Structure 1
Amino acid sequence: MNKALLPLFAVMNGNDYINLPALETFFSKVRLPVGGSGWRGRKHVRIQGLLNWLSHFADPTEAIDNVLKYLKKHEREEIRKLLCASMEEYEQSDVNLEDFFQNGTYESQVTRNLELPQWMLEAFAKGHLSPFISDALLLRRTILHVQVENMQRPSAHTVALPIRQVIYGLLLNASQNSEVTSPSKQSNKLPIVREFDRIQKTLKKSFVPTTMLPLDFCEDHRPLATLTEVPRSDRLKLLLETLGAKANILQPIPSPLWLPVAVTCYWTHYSEPKVKLHHLQALLLGMVFGELHRTSSSPDPAVFHVKDKMVYDQFLKWKEKNSQELLDLDTAHTFCQWQCCLQMGLHLNQLLSTPLPEPEVTRLYCGTLVHRLCKELKSAHGAENLLISSPKMSQLYCDLLHAVKSTVPPDFFQETTKSCKEKNKQATSQAETTRQHATLEAQPLCDVNNRFASLMVED
C-alpha cells in the first residue's frame, strides 16, 4: 500500500486523539475485504479489512472521496475537513525499519539530533533501556505509576527514591558539579528531575535533585558517554552500594537471583512500615516457586526431582486456592514497595550495562501466591516446614534468607519494644525529611474535561 495512505488509515481506525462517530456509518455500509483464514477478533478484522480496502487507491484524495460516498451529503464536506486536518498531525518517518529488523541497524534524524552516545541509541532501539530512562534523560520528567496499595500511606515509590536519584545522576551528569565544595551550593546546582507521583489520592509534582556520582564515574565529566567503558567491577560496586548489598553474600545463590536478592536487601532495610519476617519469608518462598517452575518442564530427575514436584504441587494449590478473604492493604503496600525497588533496580542495572545478570522477572513474583503464603506463615506454619520434602529447595531458601538477614542487625525481626518504636519513629522522621528534600508542588488530579491536565509541561 502507498505509505501516504497510512495517516488516513490511522485517523479512520481511531486513536487517543481522534474520534469521528460519523465514520461508523462508513464501516456499517462498506464491505471490507479480509484475506487469510482462521479466527480473528472484530477489531483485527476491521484493521485488516481497512488496510486492504485502502490499498486499492492511489492517493489519500481518491481514498477520501470514496469514504465520503458512504456518508450523508450534508456531512461530507465537514468530514473531509476533519479527516484532512487530522491527517496533518502525522509525518512520514525517515527510519528504515527493514534495516533494523534484518540487519539490526537503526538510524533516524530525530535520534541524531538528540546527540546521545551511540551505545545508548542502540540500547533504546533494541529495547534494552526502559522508557523511564528516556523520559528522565530527554524530558527530565518521569511518571511513577500507582499500584493497588494503601492510599493512606506514602506512595510505594517513596522507598526507591535514592535508587532513582542515582539513575538521574548517571543520566544528567551530576559529576559536572564535582568541583563545588559547599554542600549548600552543591544541592542548588545539581540537575533536577520532575517526578509525578501520588500523595494519598492527589497527584503531586516533585522536583528531585540527582545524587552526586563517585569519582569513578566523573572522568572528563562525561559519565554517560563513557559509561560502557567503565570497568565492570566499578559498575557492580556502584550498583551494590546503591542497593546496600555486598558481592560475597550473593555467591551461594544462583546468579539469576543475584539482582532480586540485592533489591530485597534494600527493601528490607528501607521499607516503611518495617518489613516483618513473614513478609520476607513469603517473598523468598515465591522466588523458590519461580525456580521450581523454571525446572518443572525438565525430564531429567537430577534437575526436577520427584521431591521437588511434591513441593511444587503444594505451591500450585496455594496459588490456585479460591479465597473470599479481603486483601490486607498493609501487606499489599509492603509488596508494592518491593516491586518499586525491583523496577528501579532493574533500570539501574540496565543503565550500567548489566553488571548483574538480568533475572526472569515473570518468575520472581506471583502476588496471589505470596499473599497466600503470608497468611500461612502468620498461622502455625514455619517457612522451612513448607519445603521439608525437598532438601535442594530448602537449601536454596535458607541461602536466600541468610543473604538478606546478613545485611540487617541480628534483632531486626524481633518484636518491637516501646523504645524501639521510638527509635523507628525517629528514623521514619529522618526518611521523610530526606523525601521532602524534593520540593513539592500540589497538582489537582484532573479537571472535568481533560484527565491529563495535571501533566501539562511548562516551558
Structure 2
Amino acid sequence: MGIHGLMSYVGEHKQFFTDLQLRNTKIIIDGNNLFHRLYFESNLDLQHGGDYDSFTDIVHKFFETLSVCKIYPYVVLDGGCDLSDKKFVTLKERARDKIQVAYSISRGGGGSVLPLLTREVFKQALTKLEVPFVQCFSEADRDIMSLANHWNCPVLTLDSDFCIFDLKAGYCPLNYFQWRNLCTCEGTLDCYIPARCFSLERLCSHFSHMNKALLPLFAVMNGNDYINLPALETFFSKVRLPVGGSGWRGRKHVRIQGLLNWLSRFADPTEAIDNVLKYLKKHEREEIRKVLCASMEEYEQSDVNLEDFFQNGTYESQVTRNLELPQWMLEAFAKGHLSPFISDALLLRRTILHVQVENMQRPSAHTVALPIRQVIYGLLLNASQNSEVTSPSKQSNKLPIVREFDRIQKTLKKSFVPTTMLPLDFCEDHRPLATLTEVPRSDRLKLLLETLGVKANILQSIPSPLWLPVAVTCYWTHYSEPKVKLHHLQALLLGMVFGELHRTSSSPDPVVFHVKDKMVYDQFLKWKEKNFQELLDLDTAHTFCQWQCCLQMGLHLNQLLSTPLPEPEVTRLYCGTLVHRLCKELKSAHGAENLLISSPKMSQLYCDLLHAVKSTVPPDFFQETTKTTKSCKEKNKQATSQADTTRQHATLEAQPLCDVNNRFASLMVED
C-alpha cells in the first residue's frame, strides 16, 4: 500500500528508530520492494531495456551478505490485484505516471522505470540461490506482518504501511539497511549488517503515549493507496491542526504531525471516529463511518499462514477457498510458477501492461505480442471454437473479452481484447482449466509452437535452454514493427552468446571455458562497459522492447502450459547496454561472426542460432546480402567437433530417455 508522505516524515525523526546490528536471525523480506530498490540504487542502465546480468550479480551479493551474517531470509512477493479492485484507481494513476517517466528517460531525462523482465530474473535468482520465497495471492503486506509476528523477527521493506502495523520485532527500512557495509563484532569473527529499526512504541510515546490502535485510523484519514475520501477534506478544513511549513512536502508533514497530535487526545478508534464525524454533514456520517472501519481492517492480521507454505508447501486463504481454483494453479501461483498477470486475466478479466522506455510515437511495444496474450486468455477463460465474438456491452457467455490497459502515445487507454479460439482438445467440456495439466505434452507443445509460428525441426541444432528464446525470436522477427533489421537480429543473438559465455566464465575447467572463449568474453565486456555518448536510438530501443514483450508472454504461455519447453535463464538472454552497443558496432563491422572468430565453439552456437531464425523467413527478408549466411556455413565446417559434442550433450541431458539418434526427440517425449 503506502501512506502519503509518512516515510519521509518519520525519516526526519531519528528518535523513532533504534540502531541494530543485524545477525543470527530470520528476516521477512518484502520482495517487490527489494528488487525495485536493488535495481534502482545500483546505478544500472534504464534506457536500453535492462542489464539483467548485472542485476543478478547484485541480487547474489545481497543474499550472500545475509548468509555471512547468519541472517535467514524469507522473501514474500505480491501477487495479482485485490479482487475487490479497491486499489484500481491508484494503479491507473501509477501507470499514467510511468508512461511520462518512460518518455522522459527515452529523451535523456531522469526517472526510474523498472525493465520489463526484472521480476522474472529476480525469482529465478532466488530459486538458484535456494532462498525460500512465496508469491501471495494479492498484496502481501498483511501476510508479511502475520508471519513476522509469528516468528518474532523483523521485516525488511520500504513501505510506510509498516509504520502502522504492530510488529513485535520491528520494521527495518531498506534505506537504512547497510548491507554493503558489512561489519565485524568487536572481539569476535561474527559479522553483522548495520541497520535501523522503526519503533511503533517510540512514535506513540512522542505523541503523548497515544493508543497504537489509533494508527490505522490515522493511515486511512491521511490517505493511502486504497482510500481517498473527499469528504474528509471537510474535516481537515474545519478542525484545528498545527500550521506552518511551506511547499507540498511541508504541508504534508504538517498534516501528518497535526493529525497524530489530534488523534492522541482520544482513548480508542471509536471515540476518535465519533469526533471526526462531528465535522461532516449528517447525511454523510454513517456511510463514512462504515468506510473508515472497513479500511482500518487492512491493518489487521491476515488469515494466511505462510509458515505452512515454507514448511509444507501449502498456501491457503479464505479468498482462495471461495474461488475454488484448481489446486495445481494455487500451488503454481504460490511458488511463483505463474505470474500475477495470469491471475489478473483469469479473475478480473483485466490486465495492465508494463510501460517500457520505447518510441512513444509508435504503437506500444506490447502490440506485437497481442496474439500470444489472446491464446493465454483463451486458455484461462476456456474459449472454444464454437464461441462467437461479442462486444463488451453484450453478455460474456460467448467469446470472452479481456480489458487491457496500455499506452497509446503518452496516454493510458483501455481496449477490449477477444480471446483466441483454441483447439477443441483444450476447450471441450472434459478439458476445463482444472485438467489443463493433463493434456498430453505433445499437444501442449504443439499449441505453444503454433502460437509462436515455428516448426519443431528448426530447433534441432539449438541447445535446449535456448529453444523457447529462439522460438520467440522467430515470432518477433516475423511480426515486429518497424521491421527487424539484420543487425538487430545479429546483436540480439550475440547477446545470447555472451550470456552463454558469462554462464561458463566461472568454470575452472579449460574444456568448458577455453582461453579463446575468455578472449571473446573480455571483448564483449569492453563493449558492454563502453559509455553511450549520444541520445538513445528510439527505433532500435523500440525493436528490442518488442522482443522483451514477446519473450515475457512466451514465458507466461509456456508456464501456463506446464513448461513443454525448458524455462530459459532470463538473465543470460538480454543485456541492454551490450546489445545496443553491438547494434552500433555491427553497422560498421564486416560480419557479426567475425567477433567470434577466435572461439569456434561460440561461433558455431551463433551460426546455429542465426540459421534457425533465418530459416523461418523468406530469403529476401533482410535487405543485406547473403554474405553472412555464407560465412556462417564456412565457419560451420571449421568448427571443432567439441562444439558439436557440447551441444548434443546439452540436448540429451534434458531428456536422457529419448532416442539418442534424434537429438530433437526429447521435445516429443511425454511427461
TM range, normalised to the smaller chain?
A: 0.7 to 0.9
Aligned CA distance change for structure 1 residues 288 and 206 (closer, same or farther; 3 Å): same
| 2:600–2:639 contact (8 Å) kept in structure 1 | no
Deviation (angstroms), 1:93: 2.2
SS in 2 for 1:183: coil
C-alpha distance after superposition, 1:3-25 (max 9, x if no partner): 98996898799953589999999
Q: Distance in 2 between matches of 1:82 and 1:379?
A: 64
| 1:191–1:210 contact (8 Å) kept in structure 2 | yes
| 1:209–1:438 contact (8 Å) kept in structure 2 | no
Deviation (angstroms), 1:227: 0.6
Aligned CA distance change for structure 1 residues 387 and 433 (closer, same or farther; 3 Å): closer
C-alpha distance after superposition, 1:174-205 (max 9, x if no partner): 02735999999999931000011111112211
C-alpha distance after superposition, 1:310-348 (max 9, x if no partner): 000000000001221211100000001000000100000
Q: Distance in 1 between matches of 2:588 and 2:606?
A: 19
1:453 aligns with 2:669: no
| 2:375–2:420 contact (8 Å) kept in structure 1 | yes
Deviation (angstroms), 1:301: 0.5
Q: Pick which of 146-155 and 188-197 moved more.
A: 188-197
| 2:464–2:650 contact (8 Å) kept in structure 1 | no
C-alpha distance after superposition, 1:367-408 (max 9, x if no partner): 100000000001134101000010000000000001100111
Q: Pick which of 231-240 and 23-32 moved more.
A: 23-32
Q: Distance in 2 between matches of 1:323 and 1:381?
A: 22
Structure 2, unaligned runs of 5 or more: 1-209
Deviation (angstroms), 1:116: 1.2
Q: Distance in 2 between matches of 1:451 and 1:432?
A: 12
Deviation (angstroms), 1:276: 0.4
Q: Distance in 2 between matches of 1:447 and 1:204?
A: 51
| 2:441–2:668 contact (8 Å) kept in structure 1 | no
Q: Distance in 2 between matches of 1:115 and 1:194?
A: 23
SS in 2 for 1:112: helix
Q: Distance in 1 between matches of 2:644 and 2:593?
A: 36
1:47 aligns with 2:259: no
Q: Pick which of 37-46 and 137-146 moved more.
A: 37-46
The number of aligned residues is: 459
Q: Distance in 1 between matches of 2:410 and 2:641?
A: 22
Q: Distance in 2 between matches of 1:136 and 1:37?
A: 44
Q: Pick which of 105-114 and 91-100 moved more.
A: 91-100
Aligned CA distance change for structure 1 residues 172 and 54 (closer, same or farther; 3 Å): same
| 1:155–1:198 contact (8 Å) kept in structure 2 | yes
Aligned CA distance change for structure 1 residues 423 and 104 (closer, same or farther; 3 Å): closer
Aligned CA distance change for structure 1 residues 392 and 433 (closer, same or farther; 3 Å): closer
Q: Distance in 1 between matches of 2:586 and 2:597?
A: 15
| 1:193–1:209 contact (8 Å) kept in structure 2 | yes
CA RMSD of aligned residues (A): 14.6
Aligned CA distance change for structure 1 residues 261 and 453 (closer, same or farther; 3 Å): closer
Aligned CA distance change for structure 1 residues 338 and 67 (closer, same or farther; 3 Å): same
Q: Distance in 2 between matches of 1:439 and 1:392?
A: 16
Structure 1, unaligned runs of 5 or more: none
Deviation (angstroms), 1:73: 26
Aligned CA distance change for structure 1 residues 410 and 427 (closer, same or farther; 3 Å): farther
Q: Pick which of 233-242 and 11-20 moved more.
A: 11-20
| 1:11–1:83 contact (8 Å) kept in structure 2 | yes
Q: Give the share of equivalent positions with the same residue, in percent.
A: 98
Q: Pick which of 301-310 and 220-229 moved more.
A: 220-229
Deviation (angstroms), 1:216: 1.9
Aligned CA distance change for structure 1 residues 380 and 180 (closer, same or farther; 3 Å): closer
- Corresponding residue for 1:171? 380
Q: Distance in 2 between matches of 1:438 and 1:2?
A: 63
SS in 1 for 2:336: coil
Q: Distance in 1 between matches of 2:661 and 2:273?
A: 31
Q: Distance in 2 between matches of 1:314 and 1:427?
A: 20
| 1:187–1:209 contact (8 Å) kept in structure 2 | no
Aligned CA distance change for structure 1 residues 324 and 409 (closer, same or farther; 3 Å): same
TM-score (norm 1): 0.73
Deviation (angstroms), 1:279: 0.2
Aligned CA distance change for structure 1 residues 77 and 163 (closer, same or farther; 3 Å): closer
TM-score (norm 2): 0.51
Deviation (angstroms), 1:146: 1.3
Q: Distance in 2 between matches of 1:439 and 1:8?
A: 59
